[in-house]
Structure 1
Amino acid sequence: MPTAHRNYVDGEWVESRSGDTFEVLNPADTTEVVGEFQSSTSEDAEEAVEAAVAAEDEWASTPGPARGAILKDTAQILEDQKEELTETLVREEGKTRSEAGGEVQRAIDIFYYYAQKASDLGGTVKSPSGEDKNLYTKREPLGTAALITPWNYPIAIPAWKLAPALAAGNTAVLKPASAAPTVSLKLIEALDEAGLLAGVANYVTGSGSEVGGVLTDHEGVDAVSFTGSTQVGTAVAQAAANDLKRVQCEMGGKNPTVVMPSADVDEAVDIVGVGAFGTTGQSCTAASRAIVHEDVYDEFVGAIADYAEALEVGPGADDPDMGPHVTESELEGSLEYIEVAEDEGANLVAGGEALTDGEYADGYYVEPTVFADVENDMRIAQEEVFGPVLAVLKVGSFEEGLAVANDVDYGLSASIVTQDLTEANQFAENVEAGVAKVNEKTTGLELHVPFGGYKDSSTNTYREQGDAGLDFFTSTKTVYMNY
């Protein structure tokens, strides 16, 4: 029998009022049930918020170094469990073993990073305009933060929301995505083992309609941090704005890599290929568009098709080049876009089929797919696929390539492959994306610098990670002291 996991509310592991649970399946082998989780009700979510609100004052008054010590101990616990966590992530989300191990390590590093930052939280001292006065600022926690996280990075994203929230002195309620909740539960277990005060971090599983609605609407919630689709994120931001909650939503992307004539084509293919097909294309920063100069277009198309066809697809536990989709609905979404692209007249040059025979029979597999001769007004060039499907577009100049890169509703991550310093600088200056890269893949982020998007990729309020993560979870008070 699979393990039946409980919610974590006010320092206790509790069942939902509903008495119902849902199963999480292994996407590489759907005959395996990874675990059972609580189908929580709105009342369960309300209890979690109330527990967090009740713990606000004690946690906020805990000195920063003491908060940091708990985060450091949490990081050490996670590090000791890295192999187990990696195995869990592979089984419930489908990532390859290498990808899963890298994500787990990122979560560990994030907790170590914010453990140190908790000791550095402070303000600034300014010179007053008169004598016998002090003028300074101090940073204070917001209160209770609702954290709504996706399935595609099910331990890293909860970590980069939870760690800065707690470091800054906030309490939190975490609602993970139902497709992959186990590894985020392990974060909560580690915090509990590290001695976190009851009520400071709470964990509730269930549907967005039941649990998520409470987290965005509850008057006790002071901030909402969401990562997911643009459609849902927009609704979250609008709901949170009703009572002026601080809100931060990072959402979809349609990320381009521009390839110029000065590029080494083999290097460009590697950069685009890893960005497009790594993590099965299930990343908001995945490269879904290659915008290639006509001088190297044919060579690039042939090489990227060969690259895709050479990739080994299989169960993540075997550490292939690419694993399965996380759910049947995600697989169906990719297959639908493949059909749409063919109907629109794009040229399928690699992949395009679901894998259903032999070892693939019980999993959610699709071939790495490449379309050439894509026009910029095609849906495959404009809409987020969230799967291993690459659209290749031809352009005649750097200026046209930049214009095509910007001609979408999204603006999360973008890259260029070039040896021309002018092109590199102009691209970084003018591309409409929150992350701009030169001679690098669109995926992959440093944890100590801000992350976020433009346009429909973000609410364009606060960034995540690094010091920006702490900015979101704190408010600045200015103190005028006349002595």
Structure 2
Amino acid sequence: MNSNLTQLLQQLNSTLHLTSQQLMSIEIQELALLKHLPDSVSQSSYFIPVNIFVFVLLTLGLTYVFIYRKVSPDNDKPIKFEWATPDEAKPHWKGKRLYPTGVRASEDPSMIQCYCPATGQFLGKFKAFAPEDIDNAIRESQIAQKEWKKTTFSQRKKVLRTLNEYIANNQEGIARVACRDSGKTMIDASMGEILVTLEKLNWILKNGEKALKVSSRPGPANILMQYKKAEVRYEPLGVVGALVSWNYPFHNLMGPLLASIFTGNAIVIKCSENVYWSSRWFIGLAKMALKVCGHDENLVQLVCTWPEDADYFTSHESLSHLTFIGSKPVAHKVLEAASKSLTPVVVELGGKDSIIVCDDVMDVEAISSIILRGTFQSAGQNCIGIERVIAMPKVYDQLVQILSHRVQELRLGSDIDQLEDIDMGAIITDARFDAMEKLVEDAISKGACLLSGGKRYLHPNYPQGHYFQPTLLIDVTSDMDIAQNEVFGPILTMMKVDDVEEAIRVTNDTPYGLGSSIFSRSFKTADYIANNIESGNVAINDFATFYVCQLPFGGVKKSGYGKFGGEEGLQGLCVAKSVCYDRFSFINTQIPKPLDYPIANEKKAWKFVTALNKCGYHNSKWEKVKSLFQLARNAN
């Protein structure tokens, strides 16, 4: 390899941080070109034009990076730090096993009892927050936010980059913490906790500042007021709150936290008592990232209360905004409490998400894999998980045949201590097992056919764990309870429809409208379905990618209202301050003499103001011209 070319590539690597694999790819491409040269052409004569060509490419590339991409200066680079993984999340931890009866400690009702749902291992006891503890947390965040709101986007990005680097470099530890507290598998934690958090982080780093830049707006329509300019400025709300569910303890906490601190706010997060142990560690991680970057770690706070004390938090006068992720029954209580302080709330509730499969699809096996992942990831405890497979006759029979075998092959267990070939983990609690079994029994009594599962499962290795069999129900109809109520568990239900119109009708025939997937070879057909189903989010020929794409996320009907995520999510955490000012310093608003107080002549004032309205807004150009003369006649 020519030494000059190698030197250039090394310089490029040091500037753009190319990986060794990428450099090797470049070298291989150069060698491939050499093989196609005539034997009469020497290597030296070849490398002269190639070096010039490569030099031009590198110059253009570097120009793009430094001028257009605005490479961050050294003071924006992430800071490496240590945040030790707790012993309980380390492989082969020998924690005491118990047969848990819930998270409220029987000997001391003020204490939250934390344990692993997959193994029954005891994780510790922690005191629930009392009202005075909530006051202290909010007060500390208020103090920190007074300085934080003055930070630049560059300073906020540095904190996010610091977090991003830690998460990317410590995935196993983060996944183990999430798994130990939720019972999910390591793969599910990687996909549902880490991947989506890294995506949100990097999306904000790339697009967040643009979403919050001052937005210029059209001025007044009245031609006489064109000297005015108008804009919207996005400013922090102050201290915001979030009440997040337990099914994704890392991502559900980090999602609102990242958006809040990037927009200049402080945040107080109320986590579920089911995942208090892991939430403490995750909030500590965020605090450490703030601290090493030179900011007050009290900007982010965690509280955990019993339900009877939760109203104190949601009705707190010092919270400027709330994000609630949870169930419909709890949402009623949250909204009632928040109404006392008139706190705005974004409400993200459950779903009865459908996947519509048309008969024209080709790779049914591939779609079956998407169905399995969408249904059984995190043991079905996923608000945008697939709750209903709605398929047309031809593909329905094929899917039943494929899925009847694949569901039976799913393996239950825990891979927290060592990576094993496990497909599905535990359920967070066994409190809903009776209800889930009754939903299956009701469907069978009304004509559905149970092909797999349908009951709780006593795991031979983890008898203290909460496991439910992967379940496949076919021939489900809309009149069955399981077709109308969110399961939030590992139950795959299949419904047969005759055509597109029936698929739309069945999809819309629930109180929910959070997410949907549509599979068809015809984009026209898929687009028609997407435009006619009642859903806040739709993925065409894919599953749940609307969430990964950082689009505004939220549902319709009983799935909630408001949006978080994407540009709208960031802007929703800000005061949209409307500002109007003069375009030119020498032109400004003057009160015309006929309209100045006290009114000297009301008839003349009336003629003046009606002419003003005609001049500014009449459809007829001739009427506008005539109104100018009327304005002039009545101006004094």
Give the drift of 1:122. Answer: 2.2
Per the alignment, in what secondary structure is the counterpart of residue 539 of structure 2? strand
TM-score by length of 1: 0.90
CA-CA distance at 1:173 after TM superposition: 0.6
In structure 2, do the counterparts of structure 1 residues 217 and 291 end up closer, same or farther at CA, with 3 Å as the change threshold?
same
CA RMSD in angstroms, aligned pairs only: 2.4
The equivalent of 1:472 in structure 2 is 572
Q: Identify which range, 291-300 or 441-450, moves more after superposition.
A: 441-450
User: Does the 8 A contact of 1:137 with 1:476 survive in 2?
Assistant: yes
After the TM superposition, which residues 403-414 of structure 1 pair with which residues of structure 2 at under 5 Å, given as runs?
Answer: 403-414=505-516
Q: CA deviation at 1:257?
A: 1.1
Given the alignment, which residue of 104, 125, 136 partners 1:47?
136
2:501 alignment partner in structure 1: 399
Structure-2 separation of matches of 1:326 and 1:145: 28
One-letter amino acid matched to 2:261: L
Q: Which residue of 2 aligns with 1:305?
A: 404
Task: Report the CA distance between 1:411 and its aligned residue.
Answer: 0.5
Q: Which of the numbers 194, 212, 218 marks the counterpart of 1:104?
A: 194
Q: Aligned to 1:145, what secondary structure does the other structure show?
A: strand
1:259 and 2:350 equivalent? no
Which position in structure 1 is the counterpart of 2:304? Answer: 205
Q: Which residue of 2 aligns with 1:6?
A: none
Aligned to 1:122: 213
* Contact 2:196–2:548 (CA under 8 A) maintained in structure 1: no
Please tell me whether Structure 1 or Structure 2 has the larger radius of gyration of its CA atoms: 2
Deviations 1:260-307 (A, max 9, x none): 211233233222222111211110111111112123333322322212
* Alpha-carbon distance in 1 for matches of 2:333, 2:109: 29
Residue 377 of structure 1 and its aligned partner are, at CA, apart by 1.1
Question: How far is 1:319 from its partner?
Answer: 4.9
Q: Which has the higher helix share?
A: 2
Which stretch shifts more, 160-169 or 415-424? 415-424
Structure 2 CA distance for partners of 1:341 and 1:19, relative to 1, 3 Å: closer
1:375 maps to what in 2?
Answer: 477
Q: Which residue of 2 aligns with 1:282?
A: 381
Aligned: 1:216 with 2:314: yes
- How many Å separate the matches in 2 of 1:184 and 1:467? 26
Q: Quote how far apart the aligned CAs of 1:168 are.
A: 0.6
**Contact 1:139 1:477 survives alignment (8 Å):** yes
Query: Number of residue pairs matched?
Result: 465
Aligned partner of 2:536 among 412, 431, 434 = 434
Q: Deviations over 1:126-164 (max 9, x none)?
A: 465658755332111111111111111111121111111
> Is 2:266 the partner of 1:168?
no
8 Å contact 2:208–2:570 — kept in the other structure?
no
1:314, distance to aligned residue in structure 2 (A): 1.4
- For the 8 Å contact 2:288–2:297, the answer to whether it is kept is no
Deviation by residue 1:146-194 (Cα, 9 ceiling, x = unmatched): 1111111111121111111111111111111111234433332222222
Where in structure 2 are the equivalents of 1:335-354 lying within 5 Å?
335-354=437-456
Instruction: Using CA pairs under 8 Å that are at least 6 residues apart, name the structure with larger relative contact order, 1 or 2.
Output: 1
SS of corresponding position for 1:181: helix
**Alpha-carbon shift at residue 397 of structure 1 (Å):** 1.2
TM-score, normalization: structure 2?
0.69
Question: Helix, strand or coil: the match of 2:257?
Answer: helix
Deviation at 1:44, TM superposition (A): 1.3
- Change in Cα spacing, 1:371 to 1:207, as seen in structure 2 (3 Å) is same
| 3-state secondary structure, aligned to 1:173 | strand
Please list the CA deviations of residues 379-399 of structure 1 after superposition, one character each: whole Å capped at 9, or x if unmatched.
011000100112211211111
- Find the residue that maps to 1:445 and give its secondary structure: helix
Residue of structure 1 in register with 2:173 after alignment: 84
Mapped to 2, the partners of 1:364 and 1:270 lie a distance apart of 25
Amino acid at match of 2:144: A
**Structure having the larger proportion of residues in strand:** 1
The answer to whether the 8 A contact 1:347-1:372 is kept is yes
3-state SS of 1:387 partner:
coil
Tell me the SS of whatever aligns to 2:461: helix
Q: Which moved more, 1:365-374 or 1:330-339?
A: 330-339
Q: Please, which runs of 5 or more residues in structure 2 have no aligned partner?
A: 1-85, 89-107, 586-636
Instruction: Find the aligned partners of 1:398 and 1:470 in 2 and give their Cα distance.
Output: 36
- How far the C-alpha of 1:376 sits from its partner, in A, is 0.6
Over 3 Å counting, the alpha-carbon distance change for 1:396 and 1:301 in structure 2 is same
Q: What amino acid maps onto 1:33 in structure 2?
A: F
* Alpha-carbon distance, 1:2 to partner: 8.4
Contact conserved, 2:156 with 2:261, CA < 8 A, in 1?
Answer: yes
Change (3 A) 1:203 1:213: same
Over the matched positions of the two proteins, sequence identity in percent amounts to 28
Residue of 114, 125, 130 corresponding to 1:24:
114
Q: Is the 8 A contact 1:260 1:296 kept in 2?
A: yes
Give distance in 1, aligned partners of 2:407 and 2:426.
Answer: 15
Label 1:59 to 1:426 Cα distance change in 2 as closer, same or farther (>3 A).
same
Task: Classify 1:372/1:126 alpha carbon distance in 2 versus 1 (closer, same or farther; 3 Å).
Answer: closer
**Equivalent of 1:245, from 343, 365, 384?**
343
